[in-house]
Structure 1
Amino acid sequence: MDLSDAYANAAHIPGAADFPSRWSEEAEAFRAELAETGRFRSLAYGPGAREALDLFLPEGEAKGLVVFVHGGYWLRFDRSVWSHFAAGPLAQGWAVAMPSYDLCPDVRIADITRQVAVAVSRAAEEVAGPIHLTGHSAGGHLVARMLAPALLPEAVAARIKRVVPISPLSDLRPLMQTDMNEGLRLDAAEAEAESPIFQPAPQVPVTVWVGAAERPVFLDQARWLGEAWGCEVVIDEGLHHFDVIDGLVEADSPLCRAVTGA
């Protein structure tokens, strides 16, 4: 069975082509504003050109660190597109880190998982206190993977207090039946090993967030993770795969409060 259309988001969202350019423009303006006040800087976490993260700092001492990991099916985008989604946690007093990572097919998904673990650890060196993880789509998969045993250094793992995967991919096996797999190169062994539903249920509080107007497979993916981990699944009414993250811009939105635990 070909599941390519089932996992195609843009084809089923009106005006989908306009979202990336709008995100990029808003992100660039946000970075420029914070750079003027010295509250934005970029840090390397590895030797590669994409092994870097942006760190946004609140006014005053940070309550802790939120790490946002972007999506794009592990095939596209980088940290520069999403900066403005740090606005909500920042307004609540949290520092926010946003890493880039290498993309498939240059690397495999397992490699990206390891890169993100290093990025989280690097960001943790810069900001004291609790660490909350959130990510969208493939980024939701990646932050869920951070809860796998022994993936993060013990000292960093102990600081993780809340995880909010947004529209996550929790079972990667169906993606082998999409045309994306030409770039992802998933085989059965990697698909299972990289699927969060097969990890032990974490002790950290997890809230899975998904838009009610998303493709049915993304509602399934959210439900599967909730069932596997016994965690809360929030279905955000009226939102699709591209606007489900909009709540991160507003400090008092339900999504932002879920991320920060406010």
Structure 2
Amino acid sequence: MIDWNDAFDNSSYVPGADALPELWAGRAAAHRAETGEIDLAYGDAPRNRFDLFRPEGAARGLVVFVHGGYWHRLDKSFWSHFAAGPMARGWALAIPSYTLAPDARLTQMVGEVAAAVNAASEQVGGPLRLVGHSAGGHLVSRLACADSSVTDRVEKVVSVSGIHDLRPLIGTRMNETLKLDVTEAEAQSPALHKPRDGLALHFWCGAVERPELVRQTRLISEAWNAPNTFDPGHDHFSVIEELGRPGSPLLDELLKD
């Protein structure tokens, strides 16, 4: 029998993971102090806000980064330093917060993130790319589905360590907070939907992540006939830090034509 609590337990298998949120918050605050348009509204809920970071000169396009935290932790303020990567390449980066569980179901979160992307797209012209990590990887994959309400300007989606079949989460302790039932889990699982036509897709995962995250990446890659990358040497947390490094393979993939 699979222990689904253990299967989705990323932090316990990465040494020093407990200290990472404080480290990220410090780096992010330093970056926000230098640049950024903070708390732009995209809706009425308290967390319906996004931060926008622009490069010098006209932006080549816009990247929207959707953060993780298993749909019930963290917010946009932990990731501002990731903007250094896209900005160095001439791209703007928007980072939204969204209402978390238990105050919102996943269905609401999907709608809020779509609204955030649509609002951010009004601020910056040019190509529009989405990247999300972990729970955020699920959310950007869900926005890549054919029935999504996100703007047609989205031309590429890179999901990093996403969860694409939500049904196993029903049997976890986490679900005491998420309140997923079978109907919603199936409705919001990207791997059970068809992708939008004409959308470039890539599924990315650390090569040394938990087996379930590797399985989930392979699952949707096969279901959607889309390429995947298992980034050598990277765990669940280090893999997304590559977004902030201007020359990283992850950023190369996200920004290439």
TM range, smaller chain:
over 0.9
Pairing of 1:111-126 with structure 2 (within 5 A): 111-126=108-123
Deviation, structure 1 residue 150: 4.0
Equivalent residue for 2:79?
A: 82
* C-alpha RMSD of matched pairs (Å): 1.1
**Equivalent in 190, 195, 219 of residue 189 of structure 2:** 195
Name the count of aligned residue pairs.
255
Which residue in the other structure is 1:233 paired with?
228
Matches within 5 A, 1:39-50: 39-50=36-47
Contact 1:170 / 1:221 at 8 angstroms: preserved in 2? Answer: yes
Q: Distance in 1 between matches of 2:50 and 2:241?
A: 21
Tell me how far apart the structure 2 counterparts of residues 103 and 42 of structure 1 sit (CA, whole Å). 17
Match of 2:165 among 163, 167, 171: 171
Q: Distance in 1 between matches of 2:209 and 2:159?
A: 15
Question: Secondary structure of 2:64's match?
Answer: strand
Which secondary structure state, in structure 2, belongs to the residue aligned with residue 120 of structure 1? Answer: helix
Structure 2: distance between partners of 1:131 and 1:110: 23
Give the whole-Å Cα distance in 1 for the aligned partners of 2:254 and 2:37.
Answer: 21
CA contact (8 A) 1:201 1:228 kept: no
Contact map agreement 1:144 1:165 (CA 8 A) in 2: yes
CA distance in 1, matches of 2:98, 2:137: 14
Secondary structure of 2:139's aligned partner: helix
Contact 1:50 1:102 in 2 (8 A): yes
Question: Structure 1 counterpart of 2:159, which letter?
Answer: P
Q: Distance in 2 between matches of 1:86 and 1:229?
A: 29
Alignment check: 8 A CA contact 1:201 1:230 kept = no
- Specify which of 92, 97, 108 is matched with residue 94 of structure 2: 97
Q: Name the SS for the 1:257 alignment partner.
A: helix
Preserved contact between residue 146 and residue 195 of structure 2 (Cα < 8 Å): no
3-state SS of the aligned residue for 1:164? strand
Q: CA deviation at 1:225?
A: 0.9
1:201: how far off?
Answer: 3.0
Specify the SS of the correspondent of 1:244.
helix
Confirm or deny: 8 A CA contact 1:99 1:119 kept in the other structure.
Answer: yes
Match in the other structure for 1:222: 217
State yes or no: 1:144 paired with 2:141: yes
Describe the SS at the equivalent of 2:129: strand
Q: Distance in 2 between matches of 1:52 and 1:201?
A: 27
- Match of 2:144, SS state, is coil
How many Å separate the matches in 2 of 1:148 and 1:219? 21
Q: CA deviation at 1:152?
A: 2.2
Alignment map for 1:28-39 (pairs within 5 Å): 28-34=29-35, 39=36
Identity of aligned residues (%): 49
Residue 246 of structure 1 aligns with which residue?
241
TM-score normalised per structure 2: 0.96
Tell me, in whole angstroms, the C-alpha distance in 2 between the residues paired with 1:135 and 1:129.
20
Residue 24 of structure 1 pairs with residue 21 of structure 2: no
State the secondary structure of the residue aligned to 1:80: helix
Check conservation: 1:113, 1:142, Cα contact below 8 A.
yes
Please list every run of 5 or more consecutive structure 1 residues that lacks an aligned counterpart in the other structure.
none
Alignment of 1:153-168 (within 5 A): 156-157=151-152, 159-168=153-162
The residue type equivalent to 2:157 in the other structure is V
- Judge conservation of contact 2:137–2:160 (CA < 8 Å) in 1: yes
Measure how far apart 1:42 and its partner are: 2.7
Residue type of the alignment partner of 1:134: V
Task: Provide TM-score, normalisation by structure 1.
Answer: 0.95
Kept in 2: contact 1:136–1:168 (CA 8 A): yes
Secondary structure of 2:4's aligned partner: coil
Q: What letter matches 1:44 in structure 2?
A: A
Gaps of 5+ in 2: none
